[in-house]
Amino acid sequence: MPADPAQLAWLAALVLLAAVLYSSVGHGGASAYLAAMALFGIAPGVMKPAALVMNVAVALVGTTRFARAGLVPGRLLLPLLLGSIPAAFLGGLAQLPTATHRLLLGVVLILAAGRLAWGGEAERPLRPAPTWPWLVALGAALGLVSGLTGVGGGIFLSPLLVLTGWEGVRRTAGASAAFILANSVSGLLGHLGAGRPIPAGVGLLSVVAVAGGVYGSWLGVRRLSTLALRRLLAVVLVVAGVKLLWP
């Protein structure tokens, strides 16, 4: 984490903004936390566990809020989690070479920017989801990427559920929150299981992230649109992603 108090304050402000915006759509905000830390030159080995810790904190708040509102689709979520949780743990165990990590993370951030800038908020007619084996395999793929990069996987799950018509927008937010929580916990356990510590200074940023998550999830349940703000945040993700791909 930045040793300079001014830089730490700016980083905390970005984390707060990201937590508000992401939690409003059922996300934990890991991709934005990674982007913010990349802008401050924090090492990839520190970024991944720090993002996972903040993701767990914010996703727990969001899952609780959306579940109380009846917006977590358990039937669709269960097979996805059966595949994703062990895969996220395996991904958390892995320590990618720095160059590989930068490439993978840069691509993830740019894809996340596309998700944030995408404006498909209108409800579509729902279609039946695939059978359990396909959902388990899909969950495993998302979970592996989640564990490898420190991103909870919801940044990919949300557009998938809405574009395929498997779920509505608001219940997609609830599914993403729960999916991110489970995968982030699994990935963090994998990180700890490999004997790697939690970086110092994450506690303070996690408190800031929770505060943003409480407010953002309240906005999400009340159906407040954050499309314009998410598009602005997408610019930050693109800048950070390009910086990682072309240091």
* pLDDT tens, per residue, the chain with 247 residues: 777 888 989 999 999 998 998 888 788 888 888 888 988 888 878 888 898 899 999 999 999 999 998 989 999 999 999 999 999 888 888 777 767 777 877 787 787 777 667 655 455 678 899 999 999 999 999 888 878 877 767 777 887 887 788 988 788 889 989 998 998 888 888 888 888 888 887 888 999 999 999 998 888 777 665 565 566 567 767 877 776 677 5
Q: Rounded distance, CA 243 to CA 247, Å?
A: 5
Nearest-10 Cα torsion for 157, 159, 162, 166 = -30
pTM listed for this prediction: 0.81
Residue 129 neighbours by CB under 8 Å, 6+ apart: 76, 135, 164, 166
Token pair of 149 as six digits = 């990069």
Other C-beta atoms closer than 10 Å to the C-beta of 123 total 11
Question: Residue 69 burial (CB < 10 Å; 0-12/13-18/19+)?
Answer: middle
Residue 80: helix, strand or coil by DSSP? helix
Token pair of 225 as six digits = 């649109």
Residue 115: helix, strand or coil by DSSP? helix
Domain ranges for the chain, please list them: 7-245
